[in-house]
Amino acid sequence: MTSEKRLTLVRGNRDDDLESVTGGVDIRGDICEFAALLSSHLPKPGHVTNVNIYCSRDTPGRALCLVDVSDIAASEAAQVLNGVPFAFSAVVLDAPIAADFSCPAKRPGRPTIANCTCSYRTCTSLIPGDS
């Protein structure tokens, strides 16, 4: 029996299942799919330009996500994505991560970054441990 986990966005003390944002699509370690799904729920798809996921061995199963947006106010994007605006062009999400997401931290207490740069409908994934 395999354990299937949904990525959940957390805001304050309230958990909102990402299903409400993504229509029930499971996120299983594909940061580019995650970026595309987040982008598809903004007023104009394609507004997510970059996603950074910060993982630490000290907080297994959880990550902070910094989502850069363009042509939309961070406050507006944060409302849609159930996140917190950061500066004028980014949203911070606190998210449980599926068990199969590859994000090994080499040093305790130091975050490992999984990065996805999305532009012109292309996405280059730089996930630690991915080949």
- At 14 the pLDDT is 37
In the numeric block, the tokens 């907080």 are attached to: 59
Residue 1 inside a domain? The answer is no
Q: Is 128:116 a contact under the CB 8 Å cutoff? A: no
Within-domain flag for 72 = yes
Question: Does any domain span residue 12?
Answer: yes
The position carrying tokens 């990525």 is 7
pTM over 0.75: no
* SS3 state at 17: strand
Structural domains in the chain (count) = 1
Q: For residues 91 and 62, is the Cβ–Cβ distance under 8 A?
A: no
Location of structure tokens 């996930």: 127
**Could you read off the pLDDT of 62-89 as tens digits, one per residue?**
778 888 998 899 999 999 888 899 988 9
Measuring CA to CA, which residue among 81, 89, 101 is closest to residue 22? 81
Domain holding 60, by residue range, is: 8-126
Q: Is residue 36 assigned to a domain?
A: yes
Residue linked to tokens 């730089």: 126
- Decide if 17 is inside a domain: yes
Classify residue 131: in a domain, yes or no: no
Residue 87 counted as domain residue: yes
Residue 13's contacts (CB-CB under 8 Å, 6 or more residues apart) are none
53 bridge partner residues: 65, 114
